[in-house]
Chains A and B, each alone.
Chain A
Amino acid sequence: MTSLLATVAIPDLLVFLLGALLCLVGAVSILTVKNPVHAALSLVMTLFGIAVLFIELQADFLAAVQIIVYAGAIVVLFLFVIMFLGVDREEDLAVEPIVGQRPLAAVLITALMASIVALGLVGHFEVGPATQTGMLHGGAGNVADLGRSVFTTYLFAFEATAGLLIIAVVGAVVLARRNNPDDHVAESQVEELA
């Protein structure tokens, strides 16, 4: 610990620990809680923690976006659907697990994480040559950097996201329709309910 204090500035350390704590507690509780609503809330917690870490990494704008899009939109959608379907009753929508037993999964995942970290340690977490895509300023300045790279280097990706949104919208509309087309009376039911 002393060595840490020597190397790392205290506020940074605190912020990091706060963020990491939020993340991990949230993540673990997603795994453990029974009620999906609680799970969603713990997801918010994790996202918040990650936002804090973004701030620690001087990616302020991304931190804001993280809160706005994830916590503000995606998780809200989750909660909306949970309420909408009334699956806050536990395990209402349970489907058979895709892959078998927990121990197997645990072993696999642990092996995966261990090997990743081990590989990282082998390479001493050395990274490649710096600043190949573009300069990155810290703090509030990096919005401009982002802007530049999004609209030059990653222009195509930016336009491609439009395609994703199209799919999302069309998909949502198609999927939200009444299920069985032969069930005409039920159709009118929906009309009446909406």
Chain B
Amino acid sequence: MHTFPYLVVLLCIPLFGAGLVGLVGLRAPQAARVLALAATALELVFAVALLVAFKTHVGTFQFESTHTWMAPLGISFSLGVDGISLFLVLLTALIVPIVILGTSVGEKATGYLAWLLLLQGASVASFVSLDLMLFFFAFELTLVPSYFLIVKYGHERRAYAATKFFVMTFLGSAFLLVGILVLAFQHQNQTGVLTFSLAALQHTTLSSGLAVWLSLAFLVAFGVKAPIFPLHTWSPTTYREAPEGGSMVLSAILAKLGTYGILRFNLTLFPHASKTLAPLVLTLAAIGVLYGAITASGQHDMKRLIAYSSLAQVGFIILGTFSFSPQGLTGAVTMMVNHGIITAAFFMLIGWIAQRRGSFDTAVLKGLQGPVPVLAGVFTVTMLASIGLPGLNGFVGEFLVLIGTFTTHRWWAVVATTGVVVAAMYLLWNYQQVFHGKADAETETMHDLTTKERLTIAPLLALIVLLGVYPKFMLDRIEPSVHRELAGITAAAPATAIQTHHVTFTSPVGGAR
């Protein structure tokens, strides 16, 4: 079929854009900024075009394109997009231009822009790659730009934060690589073909023990990135120390790499192991929800607060993913997108507040409502969305996740619901702390959002409302893919214990049954 190679284009624009910006920036930083905006705008255009061309109600991968690449290593260059990855690609394409518009890191911004574009390219690549090694390439590639974004443009303790983030994530992906390789060799032993293509590896028969081990290896990698509860320790520091733009990208896009990876690879490749591990993961997710919510309520620093609240949100996403129910999965996907939009808005607003008032500290910030009503209004809407107020986009995902989880794993759903309540409490409390009350002299002098800023935040706000009132638009495209996923999970034959001739594994969770 000769369709327009949307995905390849979506990959190339930011990558070449990054190089171009880097070169131009040496001479003319201003031109670089314009160029970067142009590139991201073009990216967004093509992403929307992709959305338009995307066939609704089709569950399978679309726009698939496979080229041989590194044949000796069995790595192929195969791309494809389905309802799950579609909106994540859109999210990526949307957030980055807004980041470029809405944040600034002073004069020497060339590197900042180039790294952002590279990051965008890598993220899109990992969302649309159907070859595990290609995914791994992209997954790794996101590390480098993120590291430099943090370490060069972050706040005081940026070096520490960047190191922590980098080392933890890389160690996680070490397990991922080994896991992928083991899986590939299993497949090779059974079929004699060395390949990393998702479609092929899907049909590898694994002894239940081995499957559990592999799925754990994958979980560690993605869990660090997401982050899931015990592996989250890097995230508050990093979100806090990263530049606002960095935090936006990290929380809105990179975190989704983790959740997406779990949804796409763990569930597809190790359905049974995922079922075996479900109790464990669900528990961790529920703990994450509560822990995030409670810790958040103790924060005085707004960025850390958002960091912990998104830990809770990610907990929800994982909950939905491992509920193995259509609503749950759909909710998870929806929530990835919505959470991306909401946190991006949060971090940008906080950045603007800090610009004006020079602090992230809720103890310092008081009574902003008076001097900056518009900002306060926008913040209110975002916050309500994040709480999950019906009619705003936050609601849809949370609701679906809770329904889905409740049908299959009741008690975890109950725990999570309490998490929602706590979340509502701390956000409202924090809100009234910051925006109500008596503004001090310095706060009085703050000026409200400029037109440029209003235009920058407008799209996010619009989406918050639109996706809240008309979620069907998304759900129609997501559900078919979700159903396909679930069909694959349920259809998969019961695990048969295969003893491979050189490696023998035993399950950590009593898997060998």
A–B in direct contact per CB < 8 Å: no
Q: Which B residues are closer than 8 A to A by beta carbons?
A: none
